[in-house]
Amino acid sequence: MKSALITGIGGQDGAYLAAHLLGEGYRVVGTSRDAASDRFDGLRVLGIRDQVSIRSMSLVDFRSTIKVLAEELPDEIYNLAGQTSVFVSFEQPVETFESIVVGVVNLLEAIRILKAPIRLYNAGSSEMFGNTGIIPATEETAIKPRSPYGIAKATSFWQVAQYRDAYSLRACTGILFNHESPLRPERFVTQKIVAAACRIAAGQQQTLTLGDLTVQRDWGWAPEYVVAMHRMLQLEQPEDIVIATGRTHSLEKFVAAAFEAVGLPWRAYVRHDQSLVRPTELACGRADPSRARELLGWQARYHMPHVARMMVEARLASCSLHEIGGAADSSRAKAA
C-alpha cells in the first residue's frame, strides 16, 4: 500500500486529494499545525474524516517537519499548505512569504537529509505569471508576479527546481490556474458570489458588493485538478506542468452564470466597491494546458459555466429548498 502525506489537508484541494488517493488505495496522512483543534470540515463533508490520519506539524518549524517525515516516511508528499488568499497577501505579506517559502524549504531539506525516496508535489499558482494578456501561459512563460502571494509561489517554484537539479530530488510544482468547488470558503470571491446569489434568491440578502468585474481568469473544477496532481508524481521524470481548462472568462461572466443558476438578473443586485480592488490587480489569466494533455493524459471536463452552476446547486442542496424556492419567487417578482 502506497502512503501519501498531505500538508494543508484542511483546505479545498487537500480534502479532494485525500478522497482521490483513498480511492486509489493509498494510506493517507494529513498535517495541521494543531491537529486536535482543526475540525477538517472538508474531510467530513466528503465523508472520509475517519479514513485519514492527522498529525500535528508546523512547516515553518524544521524540527517538527523532519520529525513527522522520519516517522511516517511517506512515498509521496503533496504540499498544499500556506496562506492561500491573494487579497490577504497584500495585508499580510510577511506571513504569506514565510508560510509558503519557508515551508517548502523545510520539506526539501528534510527529504534531502533523510535520503528517503520521497516524491514531492508542490502547489504553485498561475499568480506566478502575472498578467498573461492574450498569449496563454505555458511552462516556458516568463514569471512576473504582481502580488506578495505570487512572489512567494514563484520563490517556492524556483526552490523546488533548484533542489531537483542539485540533489536529484523527485520534486515538481503544479502550476494550477483557478479551480473552485463547494468546499471553497467565502473569503474567495467565487464562493462569495455563489453564497450571495443563493441568499438573495432566498430573501436573506439585498445586494452583492464586488471590486473589478473586468478581471479575467481560467476557472476549473477542483475535484478534477487533484487528479492531475497525483498523475504528476507518477511520472518517471519529475516535471513542472500547467494545469488549467484553457478557457478564460471575466468575473462578470462568472457572476452572470451564478445568478442565472438561481433565476435572477445579476445587474439588479451587484454593486461596485473600489476598496475591494487589489493594489496591483492581475487583469488576465490565460493558460495553455497542452503539456498536461501530452504527459498526463489529463484534460478538464468542466469549464466556468459548469463550475458556477455546480457550486450554486451544491449551495442550494445544503439549504432548505422549500424556503429558497418560495423566497426566489418573491425576489423574481420584485426584480420584474
Q: Considering 58, 125, 156, 331, which one is annotated as catalytic? A: 125
Q: Using an 8 Å Cβ cutoff, are 278 and 87 in contact? A: yes
149 is catalytic: yes
Q: Which of 191, 204, 298 lies closest to 244, judged by CA?
A: 298
Q: Using an 8 Å Cβ cutoff, are 319 and 202 in contact? A: yes
Q: What CA–CA distance (Å, rounded) separates 125 from 153? A: 6
Q: Considering 16, 26, 149, 302, which one is annotated as catalytic? A: 149
Q: Quick one: CA dihedral 297, 1, 173, 279, positive or negative?
A: positive
Q: Considering 72, 76, 127, 180, which one is annotated as catalytic? A: 127
Q: What CA–CA distance (Å, rounded) separates 112 from 130? A: 31
Q: What CA–CA distance (Å, rounded) separates 65 from 67? A: 5
**Widest Cα–Cα separation across the chain:** 67
Joined together, the cell numbers standing for residue 267 give 445587474
127 is catalytic: yes
Catalytic residues, which ones?
A: 125, 127, 149
